[in-house]
Structure formats: C-alpha cells, structure tokens
Amino acid sequence: MSFIKKHIEEAVTSRRDFLLASAYGLGGVAAAGLLGPRLARAAIEDPAVAWSYRNRTNPYWNEIVSGGEAFAQSLGKDKDFLTHLINEGSSEKSLSDVKGLLAKTGGKLALAIDTNDAPNARPVVEAVSAAGAYVSTIWNKTDDLHPWDFGDNYVSHMTWSDEGPAEQTARILLDAMGKQGGVVHLGGIASNNPAIERLQGLKNALADYPDCELLDAQPADWDTQKANQVMSSFLTRYGDEIAGVHCANDTIAYGVLEALRAEGITDMPLVSYDGNPQAVDLVNKGEILATVFTNPHWGGGITASLAYHAAIGTFKPSEEPNEHREFYGPAILVTPDDAAEFKTKYIENVPEYDWMDFWGPTNGQIQYD
Amino acid sequence: MQGGAASGRFDRETLLLWAPLIVLLVLVAFFTAVEPRFFSTRNFGRIAIASAPALMVAVGVTFIVIMGSIDLSMEGTVSVCAVLFAQAFIAWGATLASTAWLALPLALLVGAVIGLVNGLVHVKLRIPSFMSSLAMGFVGTGLALILTGGDRIRVEDELFRGALTERWFGYPIMVYVAVLFLLIGWFVQSHTTLGRNFYAVGGGEELAHASGLNVERVRLLGFTLAGIFYAVGALLAVARIGIAETATGGNYMFLSITAVVVGGTALWGGIGGVWNTLVGVLIVHVIGNGMVVIGLPGYLQDGALGLLVIVAVVLSTNRRQVAFVK
C-alpha cells in the first residue's frame, strides 16, 4: 500500500513540475517574442522579388508583369526570378499568398502588389511590415493608409488619378456626339478604385454639357463578353437614344464594338482607357476616339524596383519626401491624331527604362479630398 | 398508379414537367410588363446571340449530369479550343475561303481529345468527377495561357464573322448553328443507344453494370461527347467576339451548371435532357438581359440573379421524389 501511495505522490509531483516547467518555457518564448521586433533590421542582401496581381489573361496585367520581368532581367537575373502571386480577383487569396511567401522567404522579400481592393491593403502592408520585408503597392489603398506611417517597410504607393484623364476622354466623346444625346457607361468591377474614378470623370465632364444625358451606367467587370451582353441589353432599352459610349477600359470597348457590329452599327462614338496595342490600332482607324495609356510596363517594373532597392538599402524610404512615397503614375491620352506616333514610340519598340529613375515619369503627390 | 393521374391534365406531375417552361414564360411576361421594348425580335436576337455559345456548353454538360457525374472543366476546354482554333485559322490562311476552314473540325477534334482525357482521369484513376474535371479545367486554362502568352488572338475574317453579322429572319447564323447542334444532341439523347445508356447509368449505375453495360466505356464516350460540344461553344464564342484568349472560357462553368439545374435536369442523374437545358439557358440569359433592360442597378443584379435561380429550381424540382438532398 505504501509503495502505491508513494508512487502516486511522485507521479502527481512530477506532473506538477511538468506543468510549471512548461509555463516557464512558454513565458520565456513569449517574452523573447516581445523583444524580437525591436531589434534593428539590417538591409536584406538578396531578397526574393514577387509581383501579386489578378491574373495574366487581362492584357493590362500582362504588361505590368512583363515590366516586372524586364526589371528582373535588368538585375542580370532570369525572368523566372520574379515570383508570381496570382489572386484571380480574390482579396483573401492575395493576403494568404503574401503571408505564405513571407513565411517561405523568412521575410527576405521585395513585394510589388495590387491588393485587389482598398480594404485589403492594410492587412497586406501590416503582414509585410511585421515580417521585416518591403512592399510597394499600386492602385488600391484606403485613404487613411500611408507609407510614411510604416517606416521603411511600406516603400511607396502609386496610383493613377483616373478622374482627370477619364474626364478628358469623356469630353472628347461628348464633343464627337455634337454635344447632345445620351451616353451609356460600361464600368469595371464596381468596388475597384479605377472603376469608381473613371465613372466620376464622365460625370464631371457631363456637368458642362447640359444637352447630354447619362442614360445608364452598368458594371461590365473589365470583361469583353460581359460588356458585349450589357451593351446588347442597353441597345434594347435605349435603342436610338444612345449617341455615345464611355467604356472604363479597352477590353470592355472590344465587347461593345462587337455588340454594335452584330446590330450593323458602325461609327458610334466610343472612348476607352488603358492603351492596349489593339486599342491603339483601333484609335488609329478611328473606331475608338480616345484611350489613355498608363504605361503599365513601366509601372510594373518600377514598383518592383522600388521595393527591391529599398530592401537592399539603395535608398531609405523614410528619408524621402512624401511625394516620393505616394504619387500618381504617368497618363498619356491617345487620340487618332497622335496614335500612329504613339504606336511607334511605345508599342513597336518597348523602351529600355532606367529602373533606378524612380520618380521621373511620375505626376505629383496623391491628393485626397 | 401515382395519385392525381385521374384528375386530368393539370395534375402535379404534368405541372412539374412543364414548370421550367412556365417559369420562362412568366419571366418574359414580367420583363415585358416593366419595359415593353424587351419583347422585340431585335432583343430576342440579342438574347439568342448571348445564349448560343452557353447553350452548346450546357448541352455538353447535360450528358454528363444525366449520367450522375459532373463536369467542371468547360472553362479550360473552351479556352484551349478557342485558342487552338484561332491559331490554326490564322496560320492556314486566315479566311474561310482558304484551307483555314480545316480549323473548324480541328477545334472539334481538340475538344473531343480534351474530353477523352478528362474522362480517362475520372474513370481510370477513379477520381470523383467533381475533382478530376475541376482540376482538368485549371490545366486547360493554364495550357491556353501558355499557348497565347497572355495575348489575345483576333479572328477578323469577314466570312467567319458572318456567323454573327449575317441574319436570316432576324437571327444571326450562329443561332441556327446552335439549334442544329441542339438537335444533334437531342438525337443522341433519344435515338441512340449511347443516349439511352447515359440515362441507364444515371438512373442506377449498379443495375446498369449488373445488366452487362460497360459503364466505363459509356462514361468515356460521355465526356468525349461533352468535349465536342464545348468546342462548338468555343467556336460560337469566338464568332461572337472575334477574339480568342485565355478568358474566352470564363464564366461558362457557372452559366452552364445553373442552366442545367434551372432547366429541371437533376444533378443526381437519370432525369432531364437537352430540352430542359435549352429552357434553362434561356431562363438564365433572359434574366441577365432583362435586368439591364428594366434598369435594375448593377449592384442588385447578382443578388437578383441568385434569387431568381433559387425560385426557378424550387419550382422545377420534384421534391417528393427526393428522399434526401446531397
């Protein structure tokens, strides 16, 4: 009996010791974790470079990524050095892919990303900052999120103020309509910043044309086939009242042109956005009246370059002025008058860019209303 | 005999049989009431143009659903067929008047091969059709991306695009092509052994197997046939837009499965057919077109589409026949 009693007492004691020891152990790990991030971070020597975007089937993103690859090649590396994170339009996938890559590279990462929608920007930036990696964003970001609040890790944000150029294309459209008649707008995915801004640009322009009316604005999700269907439905609803079409981007315009072609309608005034090679050809032929080139090739390369050079310590983002942290990208209006010249300059020969000239082609600091 | 047979033509069974068509007519009436311009030959022509490629894809998947399986590979298959067709078409003369017309049967062949591979993965590796076809769909999209490098291929031949621009009695030629293939699908379904075998496998696979039917062979043929129909859908999609790209197959998965279910074909197999699918495709496209025509704001449309689809399925499913829903 006493043997069993002693055995039980020993077992209980050793279990208590075990519990106490593990409590000390966990506490120690937690304490070390608290101390960790306060250690100074040295520059990363050979960061991985990654681009996170929607997918490559859209010509715009194809150009962005080709710019990123051109940058990777300028470093003397292979095109495949650039890691592709494709989110297929899902913010959740975008965030989890980024976290996965951060874990895989141990924080030694220079990331260029479009976070798919504005609210997703903060979680991505916070995840990258916490891991000690470097990120540059384009397009989507909430107004209260600023690179300068994150020290060096959130390097820069570039967007394009689409309202101005969209207003310009809208004015060209409304003038071509003889300053009267109904306009329909086919937009991008409704929650995307560029979709909202390009519609707003049209509305701003309409304020100056009292005889023109916005008949309807529907999202076409940046997709050619959806745009085709939406335009067909517009033709049913408004028929001859439609005197002009304002498209949020080139791929939408292609769908609209085909819907018009199916009805035998040619020479309907039409404007778009993005400056795809196919669209520039159509501008040359006069089938599209204007498009706006945002130089996605340069944008893709320079975003990757900014993150990379911040990571290796070429420059210190926190020492740069605010207009180098948040800025507008270049926007070139392409009309039938200058389409031929534009094509030769930007499309037939892809220019060699100086990837260290970070802020040359940019358009000033981002303004918030 | 089931109850109600003696009470005349409007018993529950008959009503259920015709429910999808009644739903379609009610929708057309509703949209016309709100916006009279909905009811016009021109608008029906537009709905027909939009429905034609989707109908082909939906008919293809109908055969698989009748068998009790499912095929989610249509997006990849349509993209690959469209891209290969466009590349061959341009390489072989870029106009239907030259040898480029061979690109049309080539596309059908590619569709059949992809369908066959799809079926082999499902049957030989014994992977559930949901996963095997979904995975093959992704493979297809990736293959299309590799083939195009992300670019789009433009098919601008006037003769080929004539499928869209030339109209007979108010409807473009591509609509008649779709109707032709629909009739072929109906013939396969109702007047060939293969079609009857689809129903046998779907209605009771063990029973069919025990009766001496080579179920594996029927499955393989079913997937191959579906692949051919996806290829026809791809050709019509390219004719409609004039562009072949990796995104050509986009959205067809949702559209075709929804159309099949809304039309009254049961997902568990053995019930339904291509006419149900026709009604289902028309319902989905009438809703899509009608919502824009009546001026429903964009942000309400997805929700409205979902609700209308639920209503349509509820009305066309014989819930008494279903012991449990999977």
Same domain, A114 and A173: no
Q: Are both A180 and A87 inside the same structural domain? A: no
Interface test with A, best of B138, B153, B241, B284 (most A CBs within 10 A): B241
Q: Which of B323, B319, B307, B326 is nearest to B23 (CA)?
A: B307
| Same domain flag for A169 and A287 | yes
Strand pairing class (B153-154; A48-53) = unpaired
The mean-pLDDT minimum among A155-164, A175-184, A342-351 falls in A342-351
**Residue entry with tokens 């429905």:** B51
Record: contact B241-A223, CB cut-off 8 A: no
User: What is the pLDDT averaged over residues A203-216?
Assistant: 92
CA distance B69 to chain A (A): 27
Give yes or no for a contact between A96 and A115, defined as CB atoms under 8 angstroms apart: no
**Which chain B residues have a beta carbon less than 8 Å from that of A214?**
none
Mean pLDDT over the full length of chain B:
88
- Per-residue pLDDT averaged across A59-77, rounded? 89
The tokens 């999609």 sit on which residue? B237
Residue A191 scores a pLDDT above 50: yes
A248 touches A186 (CB < 8 A) = yes
- Specify if A252 maps to a domain: yes
Q: Phi/psi of residue A247, each to 5°?
A: -100, 140
In a domain, A143, yes or no: yes
C-alpha B137/C-alpha B143 separation (Å) is 10
ipTM, two decimals, is 0.79
pLDDT over 80 (residue A351): no
B322 falls in which pLDDT band (50, 70, 90)? low
pLDDT of residue A40 exceeding 80: no
Q: Do A234 and B240 touch (CB under 8 A)?
A: no
Q: Which residue of B has its CA nearest to A220?
A: B298
CB atoms B46 and A58 under 8 Å: no
A172/A280 same-domain check: yes
Render pLDDT for B270-305 as a digit per residue (tens, 0 to 9): 888 899 999 999 999 999 899 888 888 878 888 888
Task: Tell me whether residue A42 is in a domain.
Answer: no
Q: Is residue A87 part of a domain?
A: yes
Whether A353 and A68 have beta carbons less than 8 Å apart is answered as: no
Secondary element (H or E) of residue B141: helix B129-148
- CB of B50 within 8 Å of a chain A CB? The answer is yes
Cβ–Cβ contact B243 with A under 8 A: yes
DSSP reduced 3-state for B79? helix
The mean pLDDT value for A32-51 works out to: 68
| B-chain residues near A57 (CB < 8 A) | 145, 150, 245-247, 250
Contact in structure between A223 and A284 (CB atoms under 8 Å): no
Residues of A in contact with B162 (CB under 8 A): none
Nearest to B172 among A218, A262, A278 (CB): A262
Q: Give the residue on A whose Cα is nearest the Cα of B53.
A: A225
What CA–CA distance (Å, rounded) separates A201 from A163? 4
User: Nearest chain A Cα to B299, which residue?
Assistant: A190
What's the CA gap between A107 and B214, in Å, rounded?
56
Are A121 and A62 members of one domain?
yes
Q: Does B246 touch chain A (CB under 8 A)?
A: yes
Same domain, A255 and A218: yes
Q: Does B154 touch chain A (CB under 8 A)?
A: yes
- Predicted local confidence at residue A84, as pLDDT: 92
Residues A100 and A130 in one domain: yes
**With bands split at pLDDT 50, 70 and 90, how would you rate the model's confidence at B147?**
very high
- Quick one: which of A167, A185, A226, A204 has its CA closest to B237? A226
Q: Show Cβ contacts of residue A306 under 8 Å, excluding neighbours closer than 6 positions.
A: A112, A136, A155, A156, A358
Which of these, B69, B312, B279, lies nearest to B182 by C-alpha position? B279
Name every chain A residue with its beta carbon within 8 A of the beta carbon of B43: 236
Angle between helices A277-285 and A250-262 (to 10 degrees): 50
Which of A293, A321, A345 lies at the terminal end of a domain, its last residue? A293
In a domain, B85, yes or no: yes
Q: Specify if B1 maps to a domain.
A: no
Q: B56 is in which domain, residue-wise?
A: 40-250+265-270
- Residue B172 contacts A, CB cutoff 8 Å: yes
Regarding whether A266 and A190 lie in a shared domain, the answer is: yes
CB-CB neighbours of B4 under 10 Å:
13
Q: Give the residue numbers in A contacting B (CB under 8 Å), as ranges.
A: 56-59, 62, 187, 190, 216-219, 223-226, 228-230, 232-237, 239, 254-255, 258-259, 261-264, 278
Whether residue A359 is contained in a domain is answered as no
* Total structural domains within chain B: 1
User: Mean of the pLDDT values across residues B34-54?
Assistant: 91
Q: Read out DSSP for B145-204?
A: HHHHTT--EE---HHHHHHHH-EETTEEHHHHHHHHHHHHHHHHHHHSHHHHHHHHHHH-
Nearest to A262 among B165, B243, B250 (CB): B165
The domain of A263 spans: 163-293
Question: Kind and range of the H or E element at B108?
Answer: helix B103-124
Q: Do B151 and A232 touch (CB under 8 A)?
A: no
Size of interface A-B (CB pairs under 8 A): 96
Per-residue CA distances from B214 to B91, B131, B195, B217, B219 (Å): 41, 23, 14, 6, 9
Q: Lowest-pLDDT range, A89-103, A317-331, A338-352? A: A338-352
In terms of C-beta density within 10 A (0-12 exposed, 13-18 middle, 19 or more buried), how is residue B326 classed?
A: exposed
Using DSSP's 3-state secondary structure scheme, residue A135 falls into: strand
Percent of chain B at pLDDT exceeding 70? 93
Structure tokens at A156: 């820069």
Tell me the pLDDT tens digit for each residue of B240-278: 988 898 888 888 998 899 899 888 888 888 888 899 999
Across the interface, of A230, A255, A262, the residue whose CB is closest to B49 is A262
Q: Is B48 on the interface with A (CB under 8 A)?
A: no
Mean pLDDT for chain A overall: 87
Length of chain A: 369
Residue after which a domain boundary falls, among A293, A314, A348? A293
Residues 6+ apart with CB under 8 A from B300: none
Least confident among A146-155, A349-358, B91-100:
A349-358
What is the predicted pLDDT for the residue at B4?
Answer: 42
Please tell me the distance in Å from B201's CA to the nearest CA on chain A: 36
Whether B35 has its CB under 8 Å from any CB of chain A: the answer is yes
pTM for this prediction: 0.79
A172 plus A213 within the same structural domain: yes
Most confident of the following: A182-186, A332-336, A364-368: A182-186
Q: At CB < 8 A and 24+ separation, what contacts does A275-279 make? A: A275/A250, A275/A332, A275/A334, A275/A342, A275/A346, A276/A59, A276/A60, A276/A250, A276/A251, A277/A59, A277/A343, A277/A347, A278/A59, A278/A250, A278/A254, A278/B152, A278/B154, A279/A250, A279/A253, A279/A254
What is the rounded (10 degree) CA torsion for A333, A336, A342, A344? 170
Residue B295 belongs to a domain = no
For residue B159, give the amino acid letter: L
- What pLDDT was estimated at residue B165? 85
Predicted pLDDT of residue B6: 47
- Res A24: pLDDT: 79
* Amino acid B1: pLDDT: 43
- The letter for the amino acid at A198 is R
What is d(CA B119, CA B70) in angstroms, rounded to the nearest whole number?
11
d(C-alpha B127, C-alpha B121), whole Å: 7
Asked whether residue B163 is domain-assigned, the answer is: yes
pLDDT band at B2 (very low <50, low <70, confident <90, very high): very low
| Cross-chain residue pair A237–B292, CB shorter than 8 Å | yes
> What are the strands, taking DSSP E only, across chain A?
48-53, 82-86, 109-113, 134-138, 154-159, 181-187, 212-219, 242-247, 270-271, 291-293, 326-328, 332-334
Evaluate whether residue B320 is within a structural domain: no
Structural domains of chain A, count: 3
Do both A169 and A131 map to the same domain?
no
Verify that A129 and A20 share a domain, yes or no. Answer: no
Q: How confident is the model at residue A160 (pLDDT cuts 50, 70, 90)?
A: confident
* Per-residue model confidence (pLDDT) at position B314: 80
| Residue A42, helix vs strand vs coil | coil
Task: Please spell the DSSP secondary structure of A77-103, one letter per residue.
Answer: --GGGEEEEE-TT-HHHHHHHHHHHHH
Same domain, A205 and A123: no
CB contact under 8 A, A236 and B242: no
Spatial distance between the Cα atoms of A195 and A116, rounded to a whole number of angstroms: 12
d(CA A192, CA A169): 19
Q: How far is B219 from chain A (nearest CA, A)?
A: 32
Q: Higher pLDDT residue, B187 or A28? A: B187
Q: Is residue B168 part of a domain?
A: yes
B164 Cβ under 8 Å from any chain A Cβ? yes
Q: Are the Cβ atoms of A232 and B289 closer than 8 angstroms?
A: yes
